[in-house]
Amino acid sequence: MPLWMFCFQALLVGSTIYLAAPRRVILQAQIVVWTVGVITIASVYGVSDQVLFYSNDQIHYSWVVRIFRDWNWMSETSVDGAKLPYTLAGLPLALVGIHETLALKTVSLICLLILSQLLLNRFSEVHLKSQLKILYFTGCGLIGSFFSLLALRETMMMLLTYYFATAKSTIARVLSLFALFLLRPHLAGALILAEVLLVIWRWLGFSRRHSFGEVPALLVVGVIVGNVVFTWQLRSATLMNIPLFYEWGIAEATRIASNFVGLQFLTVDRVNFSIASLLWLRVILSETLAIPTVFTVLVLFLNRHASYISRLTFLTFAIYVGIATNTDFNSFRQNIPLMPLMGLTILEFLSERKGEKKASKSIPINARLARESE
């Protein structure tokens, strides 16, 4: 497809979504940024080579959409590799002539917009500054907009993870979990294991004690469970009797800890970019550092009486990290699906503090009014 046609399609898709989206300035800004960004990437790298920008996973997903569109399914294409919830969502656009990579980028944008709208509705903030804070601390700001420009499944996983944790309908939660399983099995496994463990934790009465060591205990339990799951999977794949915790030590503990502050790239053996470029990326996409770090500090030290969602997120993250740190794919991209839930904890804490300050300011006034009425 020539560049001018791709740019025309991007403008057409962006304009259509702009007209259909809720009349919120912040959502409209996300659409404009997406339209300009998608056209810029294609102009710089070319229509064919744009899938090489940032991650070549985009090559595979675009190829899957293309073989679906052309009814050319190949036997070597596995269901796991196809990432069906994401690629099938882009298929209708590809069938009507939209470039397959642009179709997937459109799915990424729509998932970001839906998640942003859900979060803004949850907190009912009308001021633009407050809305920007909501999107920043939930990963829907800079990092969400960045991944909406790519043919990658991150924004869909963010949306599905949020649905699973917050939806009241059992059917919606089950469907979200199933879709997550098809997109990233160990994330779905971590979520369901965390929910089961929290039920057992509550049944044993630990959640009623609110001791200082409860949350650290959840961290230890989560990491151990994650390592057990990874070892079990490795045994199944290799048919070898691999012992539990066979590589545990200072290096492994450091790798695990680095995930909770967004600095995984400093502890892995091999990275695809230079350390300098990765540091600059963290500066530009500062949410990758701010969200996990603030969330970890709040849950571990400042917010012992955390909500159920906070505990579910923390335990899921611990299990998830216990699995991911043993693989070659331990990066901040692994954490992105959980960032909206981490952000809920941060925003709820900030909201409570704001409410406490308002209450403390109103006490002297109420006291004075009471004295005047006597």
Give the pLDDT score at 228.
82
Whole-angstrom Cα distance, residue 142 to residue 148? 10
Task: Check pLDDT > 70 for residue 141.
Answer: yes
Whether residues 173 and 201 fall in one domain: no
The residue ranking higher by pLDDT, 266 or 5, is 5
Whether residues 317 and 248 fall in one domain: yes
Of the pLDDT bands very low, low, confident and very high (cuts 50, 70, 90), residue 179 is: very high
Give the pLDDT score at 332.
77
* Domain total of the chain: 2
Whole-angstrom Cα distance, residue 146 to residue 140? 9
Highest mean pLDDT among 5-9, 73-77, 126-130, 321-325 belongs to 5-9
Sign of the torsion angle spanned by Cα atoms 235, 241, 243, 244: positive
Task: Check pLDDT > 50 for residue 368.
Answer: no
User: Which of 26-40, 100-114, 269-283 bottoms out in mean pLDDT, i.e. has the lowest?
Assistant: 269-283
Task: Check pLDDT > 90 for residue 154.
Answer: yes
Q: Is residue 372 part of a domain?
A: no
Give the pLDDT score at 344.
93
Of the pLDDT bands very low, low, confident and very high (cuts 50, 70, 90), residue 308 is: confident
Q: Tell me if 181 sits within 8 A of 85, measured CB to CB.
A: no
What's the whole-number mean pLDDT along residues 196-215? 74
Taking alpha carbons only, the member of 181, 11, 19, 17 closest to residue 114 is 17
Whether residues 156 and 196 fall in one domain: no
Give the pLDDT score at 369.
41
The residue ranking higher by pLDDT, 252 or 46, is 46
Q: Is residue 367 part of a domain?
A: no
Whether residues 21 and 120 fall in one domain: yes
What's the whole-number mean pLDDT along residues 149-156? 96
Whether residues 166 and 190 fall in one domain: no
**Domain residues for 325?**
184-356
Helices assigned H by DSSP within 75-152? 79-82, 84-95, 100-123, 128-137, 142-148
Of the pLDDT bands very low, low, confident and very high (cuts 50, 70, 90), residue 48 is: very high
Whether residues 200 and 339 fall in one domain: yes
The residue ranking higher by pLDDT, 284 or 212, is 284
Task: Check pLDDT > 60 for residue 231.
Answer: yes
Tokens coding 194: 């965390």
Whether residues 20 and 121 fall in one domain: yes
Whether residues 67 and 3 fall in one domain: yes
Whole-angstrom Cα distance, residue 214 to residue 197? 13
Tally Cβ neighbours within 10 Å of residue 32. 12
What's the whole-number mean pLDDT along residues 21-33? 95
Whether residues 119 and 251 fall in one domain: no
Whole-angstrom Cα distance, residue 83 to residue 183? 5
The residue ranking higher by pLDDT, 271 or 100, is 100
Q: Is residue 136 part of a domain?
A: yes
Task: Check pLDDT > 60 for residue 365.
Answer: no
Q: Is residue 368 part of a domain?
A: no
The residue ranking higher by pLDDT, 246 or 19, is 19
Task: Check pLDDT > 70 for residue 343.
Answer: yes
Taking alpha carbons only, the member of 235, 195, 211 closest to residue 315 is 195
Q: Is residue 371 part of a domain?
A: no
Q: Name the residue with tokens 């996990």.
A: 292
Whole-angstrom Cα distance, residue 107 to residue 34? 12
Give the pLDDT score at 283.
80
What is the percentage of the chain residues whose pLDDT exceeds 70? Answer: 82
Q: Tell me if 120 sits within 8 A of 24, measured CB to CB.
A: yes
The residue ranking higher by pLDDT, 328 or 217, is 217
Whether residues 145 and 236 fall in one domain: no
Q: Is residue 177 part of a domain?
A: yes
40 CB-side CA count, 13 A:
9
Give the pLDDT score at 138.
95
Which residues are CB-neighbours of 280 under 8 A, at least 6 positions away?
none
What's the whole-number mean pLDDT along residues 302-316? 81
Give the pLDDT score at 210.
55
Angle, vertex CA 13, rays to CA 7 and CA 16, nearest 5: 135
- Write down the mean pLDDT value for the chain: 85
Whether residues 340 and 324 fall in one domain: yes
Give the pLDDT score at 34.
97
Residue where a domain stops, chosen among 150, 165, 182: 182
Q: Is residue 224 part of a domain?
A: yes
What's the whole-number mean pLDDT along residues 287-305? 85
Give the pLDDT score at 340.
96
Whether residues 18 and 128 fall in one domain: yes
Residue where a domain stops, chosen among 154, 182, 210: 182
CA dihedral of 87, 338, 258, 53, whole degrees rounded to 10: 30
What's the whole-number mean pLDDT along residues 101-127? 94
Q: Is residue 175 part of a domain?
A: yes
